[in-house]
Structure 1
Amino acid sequence: MNRPVPPCKLSAALIILAASLAPFLQAGSPFQKFTFERGIMATRFAITCYDDDAAQAKAAADAAFDAAERINQVASDYIADSELLNLSKHFPGEPVATSPLLFKLISEARGFAEKTDGRVDPTLGPFTRLWRESRRRKTLPDEATLTKAREAVGWKSLVLDPHLSTIALMKGGMRLDLGGIAKGQAADAMLAVMATHGISRCCITAGGDVRLGDAPPDDTGWKIQVHTREKETEKSLTLANCAVSTSGELHQFIEIDGTRYSHIIDPATGLGLTRTTAATVIAPDATTSDALATACCVAPPDIAKKMALAAGATDVILSE
């Protein structure tokens, strides 16, 4: 698909206006602007790039989308036979040999669980399943069901052997969910693919995550407008060679008995957050910004920013 895409509202209301909506052929520049999009991971992925060859731009974009699709096929918790979900079918404590791709994805996710004291945790799969049931049935799980799920959760019980590329789930009933990091990982992979095709002036949008390469021609960076509340004044940023992620409950939530529960799970309760919150994180890469944006929503406001900066963020914008 090769057509202009209008500025779009992304999850948690992150808006990107790529290159100030410059004309497709910039005066005095050999570069043309190309935009491609594809639905992946139940959201809109888009690539905006500058190149002097339309065929090369399309080939690069197709390869980049294919890289994101591979991550989705391997690490989705919606695809019943994905490599990620197959880990749950083995006996507790059994080391399972994994593909290099899945091992990398899970290793990064576990690393951020450690850096954030479990505020973003790839083992929250049992809680995620309960949240989806609650969304469908409009009721909360009973305490016995929550207790059983809690017993199957805990990032310290996710054991990785980097020498053998094996992963062991040490508790019965464990189930992994990379929803708090996978889109960022996909955006990073896509930008890397674009670079291998010789295209460095590129912007990748993956839901609420934006991965930025070199600035557009004749500009200092990509123009990003961020707002974390629908009526709040937007903040304008000019950025390049970094990533921006926004997470919050603005568009994804359920309301049960008058209480609003976010799609972001609180590991302490096993339920969606009930605090109204949103976080925008800027970091060197989208894997980092995606994971830390989620963690900042879970963390108490007084420590969220300090935690994120210590874990690799370069800036954090919080909204309560």
Structure 2
Amino acid sequence: MPTRRRTLLLIAAALGLPRAGAAPEGGYRFQRGLMGTRFMVTCYHEEGELVGKAVAAAFAEADRINEAASDYIADSELLSIGKVPPGTPVRVSPLLFGLLEEAWAQAEKTGGLFDPTVGPLTRLWRESRRRKALPDAATLAKAKAAIGWKKLVLDPAESTATFTVPDMRLDLGGIAKGQAADRMLAILGKHGVPCSSVTAGGDVRMGDPPPGKEGWNIGVRNRDVDRNAAELVLRNKAVSTSGDLRQFIEIGGVRYSHIVDPATGLGLTRPVSATIIAVNAATSDALATACCIADRETGRKLAAAQGAEVFLAEG
């Protein structure tokens, strides 16, 4: 077994890190399942022990985010907001409040195309996927009445979140992985490992480039799953891709994406994908969802307003 591979495995075992994958030349790589996808951290540093401690701390932060902000964990802090009558402020942790503020800000910037209150609709989509049937009109109308980012009131002074109408439910699925990637990269940097990259499903957050390189090589894959539409070299940026390549259902001969349009309450039916390059992964993650829902021109304006670049593919 090559020395670097053996060192990687020993670090992972000793510090209880995620499974160690094949390391790039001169670097370290760790992977584990989290938030319903695969997270991967790639680092370059001469001190393997330092890398191990940094990666362990980064994944610990991702676990904290998942435990607080998951809408799959029944007793998560996120879901606790909906367990009191409407109009009742719920005090939340600084961690969750920061995530909610970031999500609310993206909802405002995208005019609600990205909406963290879309939970009632995503829950219906999961049920539709399981039953292979669309919800009836009354059920859909009730869910639509419970969404709307302006119906979520955040109070920074008290660190509270308030639902203003019944049956609201939060879903940070369109931003949480990006938020986790941002925070993981920040922790890696604070531990002295700035030459790092964090991949969280369709989101990639890059720090300083590998030694001797101009940047990180990133392949953009839109409608064709077998080849990249573009090859990028980036540093200290984030890239997110969203679309219906893998997550969709077919009902009555119609293909519905997992991306729910708040206006219709149903998954998108037109084939579309969006890749966003932005300053951080929370922004690129939320914009990737918003740009899939928006028409092409609106999507480009939304991205430009936040200093981001967008690659759109339809059909």
Name the TM-score, length of structure 1 as normaliser.
0.90
Residues 189/153 of structure 1: CA separation in 2 closer, same or farther (3 Å cut):
same
Pairwise CA RMSD: 1.2
Alignment of 1:145-184 (within 5 A): 145-184=139-178
Gaps of 5+ in 1: 6-20, 26-32
Q: Does 1:219 find its partner at 2:213?
A: yes
1:227 CA displacement: 1.8
Task: Find 1:247's aligned residue among 242, 245, 248.
Answer: 242
Corresponding residue for 1:4?
A: 21
| 2:280 corresponds to which of 282, 285, 288 | 285
Indicate which of 100, 116, 121 corresponds to 1:122: 116
Equivalent of 1:91 in 85, 89, 93: 85
SS in 2 for 1:178: coil
Q: Is the 8 A contact 2:58 2:185 kept in 1?
A: yes
TM superposition shift of 1:36: 0.5
**CA gap 1:233/1:244 in 2 versus in 1, 3 angstroms:** closer
Amino acid at match of 2:257: S
Distance 2:75 2:20 in 1: 34
Question: Contact conserved, 1:74 with 1:84, CA < 8 A, in 2?
Answer: yes
Asked whether the 8 Å contact 2:274–2:312 carries over to 1, the reply is: yes
Contact 1:38 1:65 in 2 (8 A): no
**Higher relative contact order, chain-length normalized (CA < 8 Å, sep 6+):** 1
Partner Cα separation in structure 2 for residue 274 and residue 202 of structure 1: 37
- Aligned residue pairs: how many? 296
Contact kept in structure 2, 1:246 and 1:278, CA below 8 Å: yes
Partner of 1:275: 270
Give me the whole-angstrom Cα distance separating, in 1, the residues matched to 2:228 and 2:63: 35
Runs ≥4 in structure 1, deviation > 3 angstroms?
Answer: 1-5
Partners of 2:307 and 2:87 in 1: CA distance: 34
Query: Aligned-pair distance for 1:233?
Result: 5.0
1:229 corresponds to which residue? 223
Amino acid corresponding to residue 283 of structure 2 in structure 1: T
Return the letter of the residue paired with 2:286. A
Does the aligned pair in 2 maintain the 1:248–1:279 contact within 8 Å? yes
Residue number in structure 2 paired with 1:259: 254
Q: How far apart, CA to CA, are the structure 2 residues paired with 1:194 and 1:59?
A: 9
Separation in 1, partners of 2:71, 2:21 = 32
Q: Is residue 186 from structure 1 mapped to residue 174 from structure 2 by the alignment?
A: no
Q: How far off its partner does 1:232 sit?
A: 5.7
**Contact 1:77–1:176 under 8 Å retained in 2:** yes
Q: Secondary structure at the match of 1:51?
A: coil
Gaps of 5+ in 2: 1-17
Q: Report how far residue 313 of structure 1 moved.
A: 3.9
Identity %: 58
Shift of residue 234, structure 1, vs aligned partner: 2.8
Give me the whole-angstrom Cα distance separating, in 2, the residues matched to 1:2 and 1:24. 18
1:135 is matched with: 129
* 3-state SS in 1 of match to 2:255: strand
